[in-house]
């Protein structure tokens, strides 16, 4: 069974994270100009595929920092979970 392709919003978010490094949800919304709900959905799909990492934000504990997973680690993860 083939994994379903990523939605366009997830591809956009991943490209922004690859180019800009670690960001909060609010920063991603600002950079992509996507709706906050769309960004949450995109992040969810990227997490399901192990393409991003969530980190604790020590400056503001209410926010999570998202960053792309290093390529060698992402390739080692299963494509469909």
Would 24 be classed as within a structural domain? yes
How far does Cα 80 stand from its chain's mean position? 16
Would 60 be classed as within a structural domain? yes
What whole-number distance in Å separates Cα of residue 4 and Cα of residue 67?
22
Would 3 be classed as within a structural domain? no
11-60 confidence digits (pLDDT tens): 999 999 999 999 999 999 999 999 999 999 999 999 999 999 999 888 88
Residues 6 or more apart whose Cβ sits within 8 Å of residue 63: 24, 25, 26, 57
Residue 43 sits in which domain range? 9-75
The pLDDT of residue 81 is 42
Question: 3-state DSSP call for residue 51?
Answer: coil
pTM value is 0.81
Would 81 be classed as within a structural domain? no
Q: Please state the domain count of the chain.
A: 1
Identify the CATH number of the domain in which residue 18 sits. 1.10.10.10
């Amino acid at each position: 069974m083939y994994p379903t392709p990523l939605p366009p919003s997830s591809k956009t978010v991943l490209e922004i994270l690859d180019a800009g490094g670690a960001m909060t949800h609010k920063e991603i919304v600002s950079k992509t100009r996507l709706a906050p709900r769309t960004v949450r959905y995109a992040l969810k799909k990227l997490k399901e595929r192990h393409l991003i990492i969530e980190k604790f934000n020590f400056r503001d504990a209410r926010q999570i920092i998202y960053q792309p997973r290093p390529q060698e680690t992402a390739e080692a993860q299963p494509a469909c979970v």
